[in-house]
Amino acid sequence: LLATDALKCRQVQPRAIDVDIDLGGGRRLAGTVTPVFGQRLVSVTYSKLDGRHLLEAWLPLLALYAHQPRTEWSALCIGRPKRGSTPRRETLGRPEAPAVDLLRDLVALYDAGRREPLPLPVKTSYAWATARHCGDDPVHAAEYRWRTNRYPGEDQQPAHERAWGPRAPLATLMQPLRPGEECDGEDNRLGAYAARLWLPMLRAEGSTV
């Protein structure tokens, strides 16, 4: 079903688009975005579709918008649903903020992560940002992904145990903001970093199934 669904969206001849984007400060983003079907990226995963897969589509989509901002680019992500057998489809469209600004902030996150471990576990931070975006309780959502109960949580992953300690509580990631980490609506490090990474993508997201 997943492969069939993807083929239906890949009827036009794919192309490769070279990008060379000035991010300021002497840094550039250069490379090739491919395959592009018309004005759309189409990705498929045989796993349950989650934030990681959406982020993998979001980054090249931002590069396309930064390269040709007047074009209405989009990304279609196809994967297994949480329940049932009908493939889940998510679309990503035009970002609310300029794509160059968003790419620049993602590079800043990358730089910060090279200096020290960031309180930004993928599933936990995505759950926080999704709950914040939907008006739900972000602490409850993040706790479910972080803490090991019936199913393994991100707290027991070796990299996280090394960074934060064995079975560290979620509060360890929710330390007060440091200077320069301020983010509207958030008062702790996990929330601020989750908002910067995920909220621009979530605001550009629209489910088609």
- Whether 80 and 152 map to the same domain: the answer is no
Whether the link from the prior residue into 119 is cis, omega within 30° of 0, is: no
For residue 84, being part of any structural domain is answered with yes
Structural domain ending residue among the three candidates 35, 62, 96: 96
Q: Is residue 7 part of a domain?
A: yes
**11 part of a folded domain:** yes
For residues 127 and 74, state if they share a domain.
no
Mean pLDDT over residues 79-100, rounded? 91
For residues 29 and 114, what is the distance between their CA atoms, to the nearest angstrom? 18
Mean pLDDT of the chain: 94
Statement to judge: residues 91 and 120 lie in one domain: no
- List pLDDT tens digits, range 133-177: 999 999 999 999 999 999 999 999 999 999 999 999 999 999 999
| pTM of the predicted structure, to 2 decimals | 0.92
Tally the domains of the chain.
2
Range of the domain at 74: 2-96
> What secondary structure letter does DSSP report for 40?
E
| Strand 74-80 versus strand 14-24 pairing type | unpaired
Among 2-6, 34-38, 62-66, 103-107, the minimum mean pLDDT is found in 2-6
pLDDT of res. 167: 95
- How far apart are alpha carbons 180 and 168 in whole angstroms? 25
For residues 91 and 14, state if they share a domain.
yes
195 domain residue, yes or no: yes
Distance, in Å, from the CA atom of 205 to the CA atom of 49, rounded to the nearest integer, reads 13
Would you state the pLDDT for residue 207? 44
Do 71 and 130 fall within a single domain? no
Q: Which of 83, 85, 103 has the alpha carbon at shortest distance from 23?
A: 103
Separation of alpha carbons 113 and 175, rounded Å: 16
Residue 200 backbone phi and psi in degrees, to 5: -60, -40
Q: Which of 46, 68, 96 is the last residue of a domain?
A: 96
* Phi–psi pair at 194, nearest 5 degrees: -60, -40
- Of 192 and 150, the structure prediction assigns the larger pLDDT to 192
* Same domain (yes/no): 133, 82: no
State whether 135 and 88 are in the same domain: no
User: 28-38, pLDDT tens digit by residue?
Assistant: 999 999 999 99
Q: How confident is the model at residue 208 (pLDDT cuts 50, 70, 90)?
A: very low
Assess whether 14 and 84 both reside in one domain: yes
Say yes or no: 67 and 124 in one domain. Answer: no
Q: Where are the beta strands (DSSP E) in the chain?
A: 14-24, 27-37, 40-48, 74-80, 88-92, 205-207
Q: Could you tell me if 87 and 127 lie in one domain? A: no
Q: Is residue 184 part of a domain?
A: yes
Q: Do 90 and 124 belong together in one domain?
A: no
Residue 160 in domain? yes
Q: Are 121 and 195 within one domain?
A: yes
